[in-house]
């Protein structure tokens, strides 16, 4: 709970994931509902993925998907897979609220780092991560389609 009108909730069921799709689609534009549900279910079952939503009353205004990981580079850390605020509700502190939730979850579960990647074109997001959230830019992420 953030205040009387804003709450954060972990979405755990297919019906809850469906209600989040219209906001998620703003970030993950290539996904249709079927692929989205399939990927969320598999990620939850195999990777410990969590999808959290920020509600303003009963409306989802922002989402964050994250999962715990372990690598030799970072050790134990949380990977933020998605962070999106509905285009009609930006610049209200919702992204910060969700990342603060993730940071607290990481502390409570003994994960000392939180990491994420952000598309090169998302200049406003980069400014948010670096200036408001105090993330350090430490690497590039590369992708090869096979």
* Within-domain flag for 134: no
Above 60 in pLDDT, residue 2?
no
Residue 102: CATH number of its domain: 3.40.630.30
Rounded CA-CA distance 24/53 in Å is 10
Using one digit for the tens of pLDDT, what is the confidence trace for 118-135? 988 888 889 999 999 999
Rounded CA-CA distance 19/14 in Å is 9
Above 90 in pLDDT, residue 141?
no
* Within-domain flag for 57: yes
> Which residues, in sequence order, are CB contacts of 113 under 8 Å at separation 6+?
74, 75, 76, 77, 78, 106
Using one digit for the tens of pLDDT, what is the confidence trace for 25-64? 999 999 999 999 999 999 999 999 999 999 999 999 999 9
* Within-domain flag for 84: yes
* Within-domain flag for 52: yes
What pTM does this model have? 0.91
Using one digit for the tens of pLDDT, what is the confidence trace for 95-121? 999 999 999 999 999 999 999 999 888
pLDDT of residue 120: 86
Question: CA 123, 119, 37, 17 torsion: positive or negative?
Answer: negative
| Domain tally, the chain | 1
Using one digit for the tens of pLDDT, what is the confidence trace for 59-91? 999 999 999 999 999 999 999 999 999 999 998
Domain that holds residue 92: 6-114
* Within-domain flag for 129: no
* Within-domain flag for 128: no
Above 70 in pLDDT, residue 3?
no
Q: What's CA 10's distance to the chain center, in Å?
A: 11
């Amino acid at each position: 709970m953030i205040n009387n009108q804003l709450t954060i909730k972990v979405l755990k069921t297919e019906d809850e994931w469906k209600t989040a799709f219209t906001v998620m689609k703003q970030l993950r534009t290539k996904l249709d509902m079927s692929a989205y549900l399939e990927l969320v279910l598999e990620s939850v079952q195999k990777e410990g993925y969590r999808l959290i939503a920020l509600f303003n009353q009963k409306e989802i205004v922002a989402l964050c998907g994250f999962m715990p990981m372990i690598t030799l580079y970072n050790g134990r850390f949380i990977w933020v897979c998605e962070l999106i605020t509905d285009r009609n509700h930006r610049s209200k502190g919702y992204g910060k609220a969700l990342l603060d939730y993730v940071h607290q979850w990481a502390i409570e579960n003994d994960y000392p780092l939180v990491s994420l990647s952000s598309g090169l074109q998302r200049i406003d997001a980069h400014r948010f991560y670096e200036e408001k959230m105090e993330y350090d830019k430490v690497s590039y992420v590369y992708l090869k389609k096979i």
